Structure 1
């Protein structure tokens, strides 16, 4: 392999060129899961900012959030919330505030998460084929009905924290996934989103969601092998309490995932406590066991965590962060099955008097260093080309895409990143390669391999 330095305005013919521009696509998603919004309002929760009462959706939009994440259960007969009627109410509020919507299908009558994926009671005794048909119909019909009322979401999750086999049981959550069955169900849900998008002319982006970064790579490798490939976004939950990986390791995982799969990667759930004290009799889920060194349980610590995490995600090539559930505060009249009040009031972004604690605006309006869009290009001299380099985070050679008389590879890198890159083309078993090093700048430019 030959080593060369990139130079500006090089004039010699080159095997490899690199173009760099400020990334415009995909959008950066800064979102909030406020699925409890209607329940909190009905329970009498009061939210204040600057001394004035505020609407949750409008408050977060004003603070800088651009997406509201809303969950939907199939038939939650134990609550009047997170059913289709409640979801419509939430989406109307989100769109009225000027926010996009991520609709999160749990495919359960209750919470689906990394430890359980319990089938809706109406589907529990169906065959796998009939469950797939039911899942398709529920997803498709829900989206079409939402569109009729002007409420089509821009993004859709096919499942929530689907670490285990979906539409299953508590027992199956402890078993190895039966991927023939799992893939059939996932692909039914994905197809339902795609079909509804085609029929309405408003195609949502599809997200698949895994809890905790250490579970994502083996899951997506198995899903790909089983034929689950038609998705746009990989969503990760990251809570230090439940994850075995540090923030730095989260960034490394995101970097590998986004180079391995043709999908954007983001953290779709995270949170951090601003205090470890309790405002009610319901135990806090995030306590001392959730703290990370350097991030105390204070409003300032909460803000620093969110800013640092978001910059880490963006610098790793990810496309955003969502906070779960920043407005689930404690109220006197409501509670959960686990106690009166809220399990999350110490991890909201409002203090115990309902005043915003500054975290939302500090996080959402921070001046982040955005990644730059980088395109590697090499002349097509063979039927295939691959690219490798230290920026690929150990993923290994990646195939380049044929475009006209060239092969290209597009990615996003943090400004100032120094990379060593090699390309290889193959023809009749003969390999030819070129290698370059470069530093990614912040302004649009084109650099070519020198003589």
Structure 2
């Protein structure tokens, strides 16, 4: 008996330690999936029906996020749904199904408890109807939060469904459980309190319940707190939370969507690093993000993510993937713990939301809108480990200007840069005759490459002798800076490692604003020299070429 007791204690310690030592979370929010399947969606891969949870697990997802509403029945039930579709979802029974199916596929779970019957967000934190009588009694409301949270997790634990992470609230910038809903549940009738002393009381009640159940559960859930908003607000938000006495949590979670919060991927990296440096006792994660692969709306319900990052144009499945890889690399380099993509499976179906029939995410999901087939060339591949094996690598982008060339059989690149040297790799059509391919290589890498206008070796470009710099047979690349974009004309003789042959490297080069539309200021520390400026558009095509003898200067 003594040996058995010792083994049990060791098992508990190992499970708990494993949760907090997870290297990085590649997460996807699958809160809509069960409903979409009931509404008729058949998820496919390689045009064959498959288990959607397995599809995500097979492509590298190790964390599934799911939201929980306390009692959504009273506002969901009146929505007219197709026959045989349940009247409401994201209640406890639905969440249990998501947790069970996720764990069966080997994925961990983050349970986001909204502490609301409806969506909670920075502008709306509706108190559940069942707790309205306690809305003005802070102590009574605190007790309701504690007992609800404890019973919820005790029940999940009894069924072997304890999540690995519990998120207390959702985008709680202004507070939690602070608004009285109107009768229809969607809008705010009255604000109970904006006091952070009150909010802290409620946060700590939920946190204490999680810690208390952890004393008897095998899985010890990590606790996340979640804010949304512009990147420069998160430092203050977490300082405010902590200064008001909410300290016993594990993860600082943020939402960052370019479409709503602007900023940039480099600023995201800085934000994550700053949060970790200011609060090293906590992990930092992006708990919500999303990015489109199309600007088209494929059903009658309006799209909600419509503004793409100008550095990742044109909008396409390939650019969605590129954006998410760069995004995730930035979070990891900043010291972040994970990234969660919001609703990559909310496909269009005949089912209704409060805003209409269909999906507001059909241009964002990882499945095509016609066959619900997983898109191998899109953002669903962002979790693949090779993209993150070496964060010290630099990004290099090859672009081929195929204007006037027959590209009916596709455009390909091959070279020494891939793990399988000289493999033919299809390039992405960016429009206007430009095709691109990007990868990540160690700084200073050199090698050879060339383009093909088809998948046969006989379709190789005819490279002029003057630019056969690699072993006298093909083009040469030399990676001398991060995020280098090197445009090359098909059958032309541009130097890939230096897009402007004959130019002198200049340090301290500044452009403001960047990107620019009409007027730009260029500050170049090269006194008493003539400087030639060449401006390329986002496709790599030259649009301006002008010499200056006096700097700084402006180009219009």
User: Do the aligned partners of 1:60 and 1:360 also contact (CA within 8 Å) in 2?
Assistant: no
Cα distance, 1:223 vs structure 2? 1.1
Determine the structure 2 residue equivalent to 1:104: 112
Distance in 2, Cα, partners of 1:207 & 1:366: 25
- CA RMSD, aligned part only? 2.1
Cα distance, 1:274 vs structure 2? 0.8
Change (3 A) 1:28 1:342: same
Distance in 2, Cα, partners of 1:361 & 1:43: 22
Summarize deviations over 1:304-333 as a string: whole Å, max 9, x none.
Answer: 1110000000011111111100000001x2
Q: Which of 28, 35, 38 in structure 1 is aligned with 2:31?
A: 35
Determine the structure 2 residue equivalent to 1:281: 300
The structure with the largest alpha-carbon Rg is 2
Which 10-residue stretch deviates more, 229-238 or 171-180? 171-180
Summarize deviations over 1:101-139 as a string: whole Å, max 9, x none.
Answer: 100000000000122111111122311111111111111
Runs (5+) with no aligned partner, structure 2: 1-19, 77-87, 180-186, 393-441, 444-556
Q: Does 1:195 align with 2:191?
A: no
Determine the structure 1 residue equivalent to 2:195: 178
Determine the structure 2 residue equivalent to 1:49: 45
User: Do the aligned partners of 2:126 and 2:188 also contact (CA within 8 Å) in 1?
Assistant: no
Q: Does 1:167 align with 2:167?
A: no
Distance in 1, Cα, partners of 2:127 & 2:313: 38
Q: Does 1:263 align with 2:271?
A: no
Change (3 A) 1:131 1:81: same
Q: Which of 118, 132, 141 in structure 2 is aligned with 1:131?
A: 141
Change (3 A) 1:305 1:235: same
Cα distance, 1:63 vs structure 2? 0.5
Cα distance, 1:51 vs structure 2? 1.8
Determine the structure 2 residue equivalent to 1:394: none
Which 10-residue stretch deviates more, 96-105 or 239-248? 239-248
Distance in 1, Cα, partners of 2:49 & 2:68: 28
Q: Which of 164, 167, 175 in structure 2 is aligned with 1:154?
A: 164
Q: Which has the higher contact order (CA 8 A, sep 6+)?
A: 1
User: Do the aligned partners of 1:307 and 1:366 also contact (CA within 8 Å) in 2?
Assistant: no
User: Do the aligned partners of 2:251 and 2:284 also contact (CA within 8 Å) in 1?
Assistant: yes
Distance in 2, Cα, partners of 1:139 & 1:295: 44
User: Do the aligned partners of 2:178 and 2:191 also contact (CA within 8 Å) in 1?
Assistant: no
Determine the structure 1 residue equivalent to 2:99: 91
Determine the structure 2 residue equivalent to 1:247: 265
Distance in 2, Cα, partners of 1:234 & 1:292: 28
SS at match of 2:111: strand
Q: Does 1:312 align with 2:330?
A: yes
User: Do the aligned partners of 1:239 and 1:290 also contact (CA within 8 Å) in 2?
Assistant: no
Distance in 2, Cα, partners of 1:275 & 1:294: 12
Q: Does 1:82 align with 2:90?
A: yes
Cα distance, 1:172 vs structure 2? 9.7
Cα distance, 1:26 vs structure 2? 4.3
Q: Does 1:210 align with 2:227?
A: yes
Determine the structure 2 residue equivalent to 1:7: none
User: Do the aligned partners of 2:225 and 2:249 also contact (CA within 8 Å) in 1?
Assistant: yes
User: Do the aligned partners of 1:329 and 1:345 also contact (CA within 8 Å) in 2?
Assistant: yes
SS at match of 1:347: coil
Change (3 A) 1:173 1:226: farther
Change (3 A) 1:338 1:172: closer
Q: TM-score, normalised by structure 2?
A: 0.60
Change (3 A) 1:295 1:208: farther
What is the aligned residue count? Answer: 349
Cα distance, 1:171 vs structure 2? 6.0
Cα distance, 1:355 vs structure 2? 1.2
Summarize deviations over 1:131-165 as a string: whole Å, max 9, x none.
Answer: 11111111111111011111000110011111112
Runs (5+) with no aligned partner, structure 1: 1-23, 373-414, 417-451
User: Do the aligned partners of 2:318 and 2:379 also contact (CA within 8 Å) in 1?
Assistant: no
Change (3 A) 1:280 1:146: same
Cα distance, 1:360 vs structure 2? 4.8
Determine the structure 2 residue equivalent to 1:439: none
SS at match of 2:321: helix
Cα distance, 1:244 vs structure 2? 4.2
